[in-house]
């Protein structure tokens, strides 16, 4: 009798457990299927995202970073959804993630600003590696663009690391973006000088193969100073030839003007002294 009672009790227990097993088993099975399909879809979506960024000529570092970040975020959301399907309470879990994210954001707000600036720089490309830029009081060649900072190499071969947050929010002068640049060369001549001859001398100076014919070079009288008249030579050159042409003008202008009998005066100031009458 005792054996029969135990068998009956086991049968009743199993009969009561079967619906529960079926219910939770179906949940687990559905969750596993959802996880597998979702994982596959997320990988496909992030691959498409990387291909889209590649079509937009985004930087390779940005392509990999955004694809990886999107992949991680989507998989975390998928894991939370699967956990809720099984019956795990996710409200407190999500609240804990939100609180942790807020704390991390407040602690790393400077780094996050640099990160956002790096993403904007890599996405919109105000400059590229190899460009000469002026920003944040620094001028140099862009050596590399990282997520948090940009590395510049100055003209005297110093390495300067500029945070991307400041760089993206400030004024950037990119001297390599345009294929041509305008050289403005100013030289002061004496008030007694023949201005027409001075203009001719400077225009002859511009007869160089590096100076572009269109737009044509011009020499104008730009200002009347205290001790000299400024004659301005304005020419267009290829961006790569800017400094070599400017240095050539500086080197040859004095001798050419001197041979033409045109002086470059020193800065002068006339002081008039008025004496009081002796009677006073």
DSSP string for 120-165: HHHHH-SS-TT-EEEETTEEEEEEEE-SSEEEEE-TTS-EEEEEHH
Helix (H, G, I), strand (E, B) or coil at 16: helix
| CA pair distance 165, 146, nearest whole angstrom | 12
Amino acid 248: pLDDT: 94
Asked if the model's pLDDT at residue 126 lies above 60, the reply is yes
Amino acid 263: pLDDT: 84
Asked if the model's pLDDT at residue 140 lies above 70, the reply is yes
CA dihedral angle for residue 136, residue 139, residue 142, residue 144, rounded to 10 degrees:
-50
**What residues contact 105, with CB distance under 8 A and at least 6 apart?**
112
Amino acid 1: pLDDT: 46
When pLDDT is cut at 50, 70 and 90, the band that residue 209 belongs to is: very high
Asked if the model's pLDDT at residue 8 lies above 60, the reply is no
**65-78 residue pLDDT tens:** 677 778 888 888 88
Mean pLDDT of 236-243: 93
54 or 148: which carries more pLDDT confidence?
148
Amino acid 186: pLDDT: 94
Q: Where are the alpha helices (DSSP H) in the chain?
A: 2-55, 60-86, 91-107, 109-124, 164-169, 195-205, 242-259
Report the chain's mean pLDDT, rounded to a whole number: 81
Spatial contact of 133 and 174, defined as CB atoms under 8 Å apart: yes
Given the structure tokens 């009561």, which residue do they identify? 16
Structure-token pair, residue 59: 């930087």
65 or 112: which carries more pLDDT confidence?
112
| CA pair distance 59, 126, nearest whole angstrom | 12
| CA pair distance 143, 161, nearest whole angstrom | 10
Helix (H, G, I), strand (E, B) or coil at 65: helix
Structure-token pair, residue 82: 């699967």
**246-259 residue pLDDT tens:** 999 999 998 999 99
51 or 228: which carries more pLDDT confidence?
228
Mean pLDDT of 109-126: 80
| CA pair distance 202, 205, nearest whole angstrom | 5
Asked if the model's pLDDT at residue 27 lies above 70, the reply is yes
Spatial contact of 67 and 53, defined as CB atoms under 8 Å apart: yes
Amino acid 24: pLDDT: 67
Note the pTM of the prediction, 2 decimals: 0.60
Phi and psi angles of residue 108, each rounded to the nearest 5 degrees, phi first: -115, 35
Amino acid 66: pLDDT: 75
Amino acid 72: pLDDT: 81
| CA pair distance 89, 5, nearest whole angstrom | 39
207 or 99: which carries more pLDDT confidence?
207
């Amino acid at each position: 009798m005792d054996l029969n009672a135990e068998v009956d009790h086991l049968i009743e227990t199993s009969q009561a457990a079967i619906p529960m097993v079926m219910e939770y088993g179906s949940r687990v099975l559905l969750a596993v299927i959802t996880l597998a399909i979702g994982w596959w879809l997320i990988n496909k979506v992030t691959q498409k995202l990387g291909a889209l960024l590649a079509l937009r000529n985004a930087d390779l570092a940005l392509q990999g970073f955004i694809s990886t970040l999107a992949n991680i975020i989507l998989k975390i959301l998928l894991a939370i959804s699967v956990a809720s399907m099984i019956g795990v309470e996710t409200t407190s879990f999500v609240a804990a993630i939100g609180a942790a994210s807020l704390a991390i954001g407040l602690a790393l707000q400077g780094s996050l600003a640099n990160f956002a600036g790096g993403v904007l720089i890599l996405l919109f490309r105000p400059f590229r590696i190899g460009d000469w830029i002026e920003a944040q009081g620094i001028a140099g060649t862009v050596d590399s663009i990282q997520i948090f900072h940009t590395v510049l190499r100055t003209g005297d071969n110093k390495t300067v690391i500029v945070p991307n947050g400041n760089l993206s929010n400030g004024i950037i002068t990119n001297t390599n973006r345009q294929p041509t640049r305008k050289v403005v060369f100013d030289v002061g001549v004496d008030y007694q000088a023949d201005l027409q001859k001075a203009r001719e001398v400077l225009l002859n100076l511009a007869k160089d193969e590096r100076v572009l014919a269109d737009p044509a070079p011009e020499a104008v009288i730009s200002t009347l100073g205290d001790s000299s008249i400024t004659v301005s030579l304005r020419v267009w050159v290829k961006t790569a030839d800017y400094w070599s042409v400017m240095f050539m003008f500086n080197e040859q202008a004095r001798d050419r003007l001197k041979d033409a009998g045109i002086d470059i005066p020193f800065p002068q100031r006339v002081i008039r002294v008025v004496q009081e009458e002796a009677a006073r």
